[in-house]
Amino acid sequence: MATSVSQKTPAFANVRANVVINLIRTLTMTVLSFLTYPYITRALGDQAFGLYSWANAFVYYFLVLAKISIPNIAIRECAKAKSDKQKLSNLVQTFFLLQAITTLVSFSLMSGIVLSVPQLFQTRELIYLLSINFLCGAFSFEWVYIALEKHFYITVRSISLLALGALLTFLFIKRSDTPAILEQEIYLYAAITVSYTVFTSLLNCLILPRHISFKKTHPYQIRPLIKPLLLLFLISFALTLYNQTDQFLLGLLDESKASVGSYSVGVKGVDIVITLITSLYAVFLPRATHYYSMENKAFYRNLLRYSFNITLFIAVPAVATMSTMARPITSLISGSGDLLSSSSSYRDADWILVALSCMMLTYSLGDNVYNEILLPQKKERHYLYAMLFGVSCNIGLSLLFALLPFQDRPGIGVALATGITDVLLCAYLLFISREYSRRALFNPNSLKILVAGILVGIASFFLCPFLQSRFLDLGLVAWEASLFSLIATVAIDALVYVLFLLICKEKLVCSFLPKQRKRREENEQSQPQGK
């Protein structure tokens, strides 16, 4: 049933190459985000930026409704059929038809709600502008390129379009205290962000005929897809509620939307790391599905260990760094003055980042379990149960904390509730997947990464203010001294982290050494099939 190991080894090696490509893409996108985000938050201000974030959170609900998890199941099914162009083409046509129908239904439902709710009706122009994201999403076909593992194309296209968006942001978005001009800036920024989706869809459609045919050869088999799509839709909708309810709830509690702006700044640092990690799962999902369906348990477990190792390698030092340097990081993101001092603008953003920092690890681990264990094994219902619990717990704790102990600072209360909920959610997902996740996560190699992360956190806490004072002594102004101290601290932390793991012979770091790479390839070739 399974192909030979010698045939599989290069394929597994390709996973590592795709991981590197995705890391390059995500890191470049992170750099571009760090360049544009502080600029836009400073140009718009906390209230205007909060309004944009609130409207975007509302539109996102209907984006999820439009997709109904079609991309997830499409990646899984197209990955199985990628060697059969005719079958692949039929699948793509079927999923596209479904996507077009659900997109129209979602947009109609959104329009009805916007026209019925006064608070939403007042911002209808902004909402409709942002809704272009999911209207064009039906024609993006991104899931086809992921299933076919065209990660180089995805990387080049994404970096190019994001760089263009960043350039347009700097050229056309200007700071203004005039309400009328500021309103125009909000719409202009929304148009720039939407243009990324528009051009992505255009490019994907132009190149798609190289990979599939749009000639109908078989009747569309929609009925067998309804049940799994319904389940995945419920999962995605619950996940969206879980991810977006915090900001949307804050917008309802705070009429000025200033707390939403602060929350968006605080959560930005967390989102960057989560995006960096979870973007890699697009590489692992097709391969994990393939290995599990072929009953190649050895390669499947190896893939799980590798993916969990990457998650820990990135998330652990990120949690340590961002929780100990929350104030300078959020000040850098918001573009507010001295990076080591508090500011009235985007108040509490630093404490929000501290409360949410654990999610860089817990959320990434939970997503890893879903994409590489539950999805390939068709056990998605367990994730649905987890999300329903998470939504209920998050809403309850958010209302409790925001209305009682943190009434004057609701952003901190909501962030604390979200962090606690995510820890509980991650623990549940690891428990139900313990047959595979236990060995992949709880091992001596993971302990090495944890110890290294603790050392990074301690170093960051003392090193950043020390370096800032040294740069001030050199005659730099406060903002320059703070920025350089932050960059230098991160660079030193990274060096200490990697050197410590090299000394401890951590597997992922050592795998890049020539001798270890050769030994690893030999071990892969000797792996037994199946069991």
User: Is residue 129 domain-shared with residue 18, that is, in the same domain?
Assistant: yes
More confident residue, 493 or 403: 493
Name the band, by pLDDT with cuts 50, 70 and 90, for residue 514: low
User: Is residue 396 domain-shared with residue 483, that is, in the same domain?
Assistant: no
User: Is residue 471 domain-shared with residue 501, that is, in the same domain?
Assistant: yes
pLDDT digits (tens, 9 = 90+) for 209-245: 888 877 776 666 677 777 777 777 787 778 777 877 7
Are the C-beta atoms of residues 94 and 222 closer than 8 Å to each other? yes
pLDDT digits (tens, 9 = 90+) for 336-348: 554 444 444 567 7
In a domain, 1, yes or no: no
Are the C-beta atoms of residues 45 and 256 closer than 8 Å to each other? no
The predicted pLDDT at position 4 comes to 37
Nearest-CA neighbor of 25 among 364, 392, 374, 279?
279
Which segments of 357-409 does DSSP mark as H helices, in order?
Answer: 359-369, 380-403
In a domain, 529, yes or no: no
User: Is residue 454 domain-shared with residue 359, that is, in the same domain?
Assistant: no
The predicted pLDDT at position 6 comes to 38
List of residues 6+ apart from 144 with CB closer than 8 A: 74, 78, 92, 204, 208, 211, 212
- For residue 472, CA distances in Å to 248, 476, 482, 483 come to 41, 5, 9, 11
Is the pTM value of this prediction over 0.85?
no
User: Is residue 245 domain-shared with residue 383, that is, in the same domain?
Assistant: yes
In a domain, 329, yes or no: yes
Q: What is the dihedral of CA 434, 8, 287, 424, to 10 degrees?
A: 20
The predicted pLDDT at position 529 comes to 46
Look up residue 249 and give its two tokens.
């709830």
User: Is residue 139 domain-shared with residue 267, that is, in the same domain?
Assistant: yes
Compute φ and ψ for 377, nearest 5 degrees. -90, 5
User: Is residue 422 domain-shared with residue 324, that is, in the same domain?
Assistant: yes
Residues 221 and 229: their CA atoms lie apart, in Å, by 13
Of the residues 442, 474, 505, the one at which a domain ends: 442
pLDDT digits (tens, 9 = 90+) for 441-494: 888 999 999 999 999 999 888 888 888 788 878 877 766 777 788 888 889 999
In a domain, 530, yes or no: no
Into how many domains does the chain fold? 2
Of the residues 425, 442, 459, the one at which a domain ends: 442
User: Is residue 183 domain-shared with residue 44, that is, in the same domain?
Assistant: yes
pLDDT digits (tens, 9 = 90+) for 425-451: 999 999 999 888 888 888 899 999 999
User: Is residue 464 domain-shared with residue 484, that is, in the same domain?
Assistant: yes
The predicted pLDDT at position 251 comes to 73
User: Is residue 425 domain-shared with residue 460, that is, in the same domain?
Assistant: no
List of residues 6+ apart from 454 with CB closer than 8 A: 320
Of the residues 442, 464, 496, the one at which a domain ends: 442
Q: What is the mean pLDDT of residues 325-329?
A: 81
Name the band, by pLDDT with cuts 50, 70 and 90, for residue 317: very high
List of residues 6+ apart from 414 with CB closer than 8 A: 246, 249, 250, 263, 398, 401, 402
User: Is residue 172 domain-shared with residue 245, that is, in the same domain?
Assistant: yes
Residues 95 and 73: their CA atoms lie apart, in Å, by 9
Q: What is the mean pLDDT of residues 379-395?
A: 87
> Which of these ranges, 27-41, 87-101, 191-205, 301-315, has the smallest mean pLDDT?
27-41
- Confidence check: pLDDT of 498 > 80: yes
CA angle (16, 18, 23) in 5-degree steps: 95
Please tell me the number of Cα atoms within 13 Å of 136 on its side-chain side.
19
Average pLDDT, the chain: 80
Which segments of 173-253 does DSSP mark as H helices, in order?
Answer: 179-207, 223-253
More confident residue, 136 or 520: 136
In a domain, 4, yes or no: no
- Confidence check: pLDDT of 365 > 70: yes
Residue 43, domain extent:
11-442
User: Is residue 255 domain-shared with residue 361, that is, in the same domain?
Assistant: yes
In a domain, 2, yes or no: no
